[in-house]
Amino acid sequence: MWLATNGKSDMQMYSEADVDAAKLNGKRIAILGYGSQGKAHALNLKDSGHDVVVGLRPDGASWAKATADGLQVAAPRDAVKGSAIVMFLTPDTVQGQLYGTVESAVDDGAMLMFAHGFNIHFKQIQPRADLDVSLIAPKGPGDLVRRQYQEGHGVPCLVAVEQDATGNALPLALAYAHGIGGARAGVIETTFKEETETDLFGEQAVLCGGATELVVAGFETLVNAGYQPEVAYYECMHELKLIVDLLHEGGMKKMHEFISETAAYGDLTRGPRIVDDHVRAKMKEVLTEIQDGTFAKQWIAENDAGQPEYKRMMQNDLDHSIEVVGANLRSRMDWLEN
Ligand code: NAD
Ligand code: MG
């Protein structure tokens, strides 16, 4: 395996001991949005003893949920007034418009925060000069951010500061990460550029785009060769979890300890023929489109048009026969949360 850095790194990682959690004392935190991340951040910060208000549209479905969870809720402009921190946890596609709505109500010298750098990096939000702008990006979905916190653990986070008007942005962002449990696992310093570009690349090439296309291509190869779709489903989709769990817990080493020698030999000799130089060249192409703004431009235009292509392609994905076969088999495993 060739690594440009030879594995060396100048990574800066903060742990709980490096964080002054008291930086948040007496400071109100507005969480805008109550979806996957919003719910987890709001509840974790509240349980950590902080003053939290959730900013939501009064007619939206989340208002009742956040209220029922015991949180203080207000319309976005009311939530940001008097808050020292304003965290944007709505979908990325509405954050620009939402910032326009709340900007004039945000206190002087407050800090805008994000869990993903898209809107700052691609200049969909151009913050007022008196504000701090930082990022705490948990490297996991919201339900895990909540569950790990409740279990006394935490999801690792990235921290970045884009604008440091007060000179206090980094310690304050770290205190926020501490409040959601992220400092327990470690907080790595990055930039908005690095977080945005690597996050988009990961979800496009490996985690979402890459993994699902690999699964579907494997399923289709088996089914087209005459094998039973149910057997192909177990092989190509269901069993992926076993491998991913082993990788997550103990890397390649743990996976190789648990799979058979035959599986390992097949992996070592056949894997590089599947993910070959052609795939690596395509990955580089996808990365270049992220770096030069092509992807962002396309996604912003798609949203401006009301997401017609997005909806069409999503429906195609959901109509695929692997979904029909999978739904049937999963219904027999009632312990799965489907
Ligand atoms: P989500 O889609 O789960 O949540 C959206 C919530 O925003 C809704 O529940 C609603 O309460 C609110 N909302 C929607 N439109 C609104 C509007 N116009 N005004 C006010 N509120 C509105 O979002 P999410 O997946 O939690 O993502 C939030 C942010 O976190 C994004 O920046 C995303 O990139 C980032 N992030 C997400 C994950 C993840 O696993 N989901 C992981 C890391 C970072
Ligand atoms: Mg991600």
For 143-193, the pLDDT digits (tens) are 999 999 999 999 999 999 999 999 999 999 999 999 999 999 999 999 999
Report the residue among 32, 37, 41, 192 best suited for mutation to probe ligand 1: largest number of ligand atoms under 8 A from its CB: 37
List the one residue out of 225, 207, 32 whose CA is nearest residue 112: 32
**DSSP-based three-state secondary structure for 52:** strand
Instruction: Tell me the pairing of strands 51-55 and 132-138.
Output: unpaired
Question: CA–CA separation, 30 vs 78, rounded Å?
Answer: 9
SS3 label, residue 186: coil
Question: Is-catalytic flag, 256?
Answer: no
Mean pLDDT of the 267-277 span: 98
Residue percentage of the chain with pLDDT more than 90:
95
Eight-state DSSP code of residue 286: H
Which three-class secondary structure state does DSSP give residue 300?
helix
What is the dihedral sign for C-alpha 199, 202, 207, 211? positive
pLDDT digits (tens, 9 = 90+) for 219-267: 999 999 999 999 999 999 999 999 999 999 999 999 999 999 999 999 9
**Confidence check: pLDDT of 4 > 80:** no
Of the candidates 166, 168, 144, 162, which has an alpha carbon nearest to the alpha carbon of residue 154?
144
Tell how far CA 83 is from the center of its chain.
Answer: 25
Identify the residues whose C-beta falls under 6 Å from ligand 1.
32-38, 56-57, 60, 62, 76, 89-92, 94, 98, 115-116, 137-138, 141-142
**Exposed/middle/buried for 36, CB within 10 Å: 0-12, 13-18, 19+?**
middle
The mean pLDDT of 31-57, rounded to a whole number, is 98
Stated pTM of the model: 0.93
What average pLDDT is seen over the chain? 96
